Amino acid sequence: MRYQTGTPIGRGGMGEVYEVWDPVLERPVALKVLSRFDPETEARMLREARAQVRVEHPNVCKVYEVGKTEDGRPFIAMQRIFGEPLDEAVRDLGLEETVGLVRTVAEAVQAAHAVGLIHRDLKPSNILVEEREDGERVPFVVDFGLAREAEARGLTTTGETLGTPGYLSPEQAAGLPDLDRRTDVYSLGVVLYELLAGRLPFSGSTPLELLAAVLRDEPRELRKGAPQVPVDLATIVMTCLERDPDRRYGSARALADDLGRFLKGEEIRARPIGPGERFRRRVRRHPVVSAFAAAALLALIALAALAGWVRYQANEQARLAQRFGEQAQRLESLLRLTYLTPLHDIRRERAEVEEELAQLEAELPAPGELGRSAGLTAVGRARLRLGRVEEAREALQQAWNEGARTPELTVALGRAWTELYEAALERAERVPDPELRDHQRRRARNELGGPARTYLDSVDVTEAQLQAHEVVELEGLMALLEGDLATAEAKGSEAARLSPWYYEGHLLAAEAAFLVVLTQDAAGAQAEALEALERSEASFSAATEVAPSDPEPRLGKCRGAIRELRFNFDRQPPDPSPYDRALSSCGAALRADPELGRAYALRAEAAWAAARLLVARGESPLELLDSAEEDARRALEIDPADAAAWGHLGNALWVRANYLADRSGEPLPVYRRAAEALEEGLRHAPEDPFLLLSLGHVLSSSGHHTGIVGGDPAEFWQRADAVYRRALAAPGLRSSRLYNGLCILNSDWGYHLLTLGEPAVERLEEAEQACRMALEIRPGYLAAFNSLGLVRWSQAELFRAQGADPTLALAEAIELFEQVLAEHPGRPSTSVNLANLLTLQGRLALERGEDPSALLARAQEVIENAREPFPADYALIRGQAQLVRARLTVRRGGTVEKTWQRALEIGTEAYEKGRSLPSLLLLAEIHRRRAGWRLDTAPELRAPVTRDLDAAASWIERVFERSPEQPDALAERAHVEHLRSRLATDPADRQRWLTTARATAQLAVSKQPGLQAALEGVLEPQN
């Protein structure tokens, strides 16, 4: 490059401007160097150079050369203008000199128009005024960076607003696609207005408020703020500022000519607005009054000529359609501009749009009146942009039903149905069961996706005047609706490439990739699901870069982080780190809109999902659960009918209750609150499978805990059974999780009946059938294998209770638990189950005269995984194992006192952590067996034996307080009574205790025949 970098003289949107010296031609040059290098920006710079070089006019800044610097940055070498911006240059000038400068600028702009270019960014800073040696001031038009071909379609796309807010024409501010030369005439009028009045014709404290005023209001009359301005000159300015382009000067030449006439004192061509026109415009702004006036006028016309009436109807219909369409476009553009600005609280801008929408709704013609269809279409489009999708669909459907079939309406209806479809898919995401999720997605595809496809498929892209990126996006939406996710994702990315500001393309790509995540997850392809999740997050991030203040892409990133949290349930140890990303993304969405209920609901979901992971890691979830409940309640304050928020509140309470249940807390009140929250959610969404599944789990867990602590769980389990079956009654639904829930419920119910000595066979058969149905639906479903292991364990206990051999059932249960742990090493709940069975096998081995040491050692190894997540179960299993070790030591004749004491310590810990019936029975058995050992080895030490028997009797009574006549407790009481008979010195007392013991043992055996062998010594007749 022959230029040498010199002094910085300015900075623009694309780069820096330097004054450099051209040593070849020996002249100063202004060098604009691109600072941000990317293909789009470079193309824009080249477009500016090519546009500017085509304009041959002494008052248009000349372009000398285009090239690249030594470090590869593109540059434009231009004429160096030693001047200042127009608004600064005229401070010491009179009226005629100021008008003369603007006239010259208009002639320069006309030269651009003559070669087919529209500047689109005329403002004082883009008009430099250079003072020559003779004192003459010469203006130069610079910066054609936004210039476009006047006749080219598709370069300015619908909704795209470029330029500087205060100087934009209404059609440019609204993002209308068909801009022509008159948009530059409008901007020249704003420039002249500002120079004469010292202010812009519209006011606003922010660029967005200024844009809103341009779109909504009539400009201030120039002479009201600047009465010194001559009437003719004010007329010229206000003609430039007409909202209707047809009422402005037809060209910059016409404007320049009228300014010339004014300077010469000749009659100008423009005419001021008369009282009649002012009245007509006021009427247009107040359509209710206009409707009455139109009705009267139409009646007169009808009397005069039917043909005139028909003609009027057609013209009025077209006028109203144009008017309502422009209003809709304006509101859409205001919201788009709000989203494209840096992240900020958008509530004020949304409130302004809502206020305008309310005015538009109030102005809707009554049914049967002209323009109603167009008005409904405009209302529907605005509601759609505000996110009030169902209300938008209703308005648009009304317009369709009233006979409107415009391309704009067809596109809007298709988009409304598509957004409803996507919202239904988002609700389906919350469902953890893949079959339930697929069922929801199928319903959404049939009930919502079908109408969306019908409308979008009927869109004539040529008639609808869609731009290239809009056509590609519609193709992507159709692919999404048809389930072709790869094409949908590709089309979304292509739309974004065609028009980088059109971030809806990124959103389409992100949503399509997210659906791939769900599909791959359901198929068990987690690696592919995670890869798709990365693509989805990248597309959401790209959308956020373009539209920092739109909450939607940020909510999408939050949903992705929550999905990753769910993936982490299967990791060991579980990883809750995606929660921070969810918190950040949802938090950013709330900075954009602090009253966005969906963001609070998603944040609640993220918190309780992360809390579950903390529980699995053995860490306290309480802080996260507090956050989840707080956010769910905030969402419900905003929308009390938000079924998802009720679901997240219920699940947060469920996780809390489960945590309390394993730590000797009081979980039942929390379970009750969880069920109430889920039932309230179902009141608003009666068939929501997520809520039904969650409610079934809460009720099932309530019953499980109630049974463990000795209450009657039947009511909870009956309700849970009804809820699960209600969910399964949905047509065509087969759900592995629902059947697994039924399996666990019936397994728990059967085991509970078994402990009471009541018939349990039917419940256990139902449990096994439900588990096998879950595995038929989803082979390899680990949770169902774990549940089936519980069923086989309960069936083994049933065999024992009946006096049959449980060996085979126990072996099958152990095999199932080991199968789960092979796939998911360290799964805490399965570790508890396997350790329980190994300890039980150790006890049975001891009773057969075998050495249980290896089984107990393995049980200890397995249970270590559950030390933190399930402290009560951990202590209970270790206490049971210690009891077996004590009995083994007794059998071997070793010193056992310390072993008994250790068993009591662990048993007490188990009771304090869980306060369950099994822990009470464990303590009773430890005391009873130690009493028997002491009586056998040192009968003279009566006091310790008595203390142990009293302690055992006390623990047994506490069992009976909760569960009267429980067979295992009856067996323990029979043993205690039998030991008291041995301790008695009086024969009568001895016989009384023997009789009581035998009666108690007989009652226990009548309830559980399998206790016969254990009570044989008590049952045999005594002499």
Q: What is the tally of helices (H) and strands (E) in the chain? A: 43, 10
Nearest CA to 969 out of 757, 785, 716 is that of: 757
Residue 214: phi and psi, rounded to 5, are -60, -40
| Residue 121 bears catalytic tag | yes
Q: Are 62 and 43 in contact (CB under 8 A)?
A: no
Catalytic one of 87, 121, 244, 570: 121
Spatial separation of the C-alpha atoms in residues 831 and 809, rounded to whole Å: 18
Q: Are 24 and 93 in contact (CB under 8 A)?
A: no
Spatial separation of the C-alpha atoms in residues 362 and 347, rounded to whole Å: 22
Length reported for the chain: 1023
516-519 long-range CB contacts below 8 Å, 24 or more apart? 516/485, 516/486, 516/489, 517/560, 517/563, 518/428, 518/429, 518/437, 518/441, 519/485
Task: Judge residue 135's burial from the number of C-beta atoms within 10 Å of its C-beta, 0-12 exposed, 13-18 middle, 19 or more buried.
Answer: exposed
Residue 797 is encoded by which pair of tokens?
A: 């206990």
Q: Are 621 and 590 in contact (CB under 8 A)?
A: no
Nearest CA to 89 out of 138, 133, 123 is that of: 138
Neighbours of 498 (CB within 10 A): 18
Scan for tokens 């003719």, then name that residue.
232
Reduced to 3 states, what is the DSSP secondary structure of residue 280? helix
Neighbours of 557 (CB within 10 A): 25
Which one-letter DSSP state was computed for residue 60? B
Spatial separation of the C-alpha atoms in residues 191 and 197, rounded to whole Å: 10
Which one-letter DSSP state was computed for residue 115? T
Which one-letter amino acid corresponds to residue 877? I
* Beta strands across the sheet bearing 83-85: 83-85, 127-131, 137-141
The torsion region of residue 855 among left (phi > 0), alpha (psi -120 to 50) and beta comes to alpha
Cis, peptide link before residue 573, omega less than 30° from 0: yes
Which residues are CB-contacts of 547 (< 8 A; sequence separation ≥ 6)?
Answer: 339, 340, 503, 553
3-state helix/strand/coil string of 477-526 = HHHHHCCCHHHHHHHHHHHHHHCCCCCHHHHHHHHHHHHHHHHHHHCCCH
Cross-strand pairs, 254: none
Spatial separation of the C-alpha atoms in residues 485 and 519, rounded to whole Å: 10
* Active site amino acids: 121
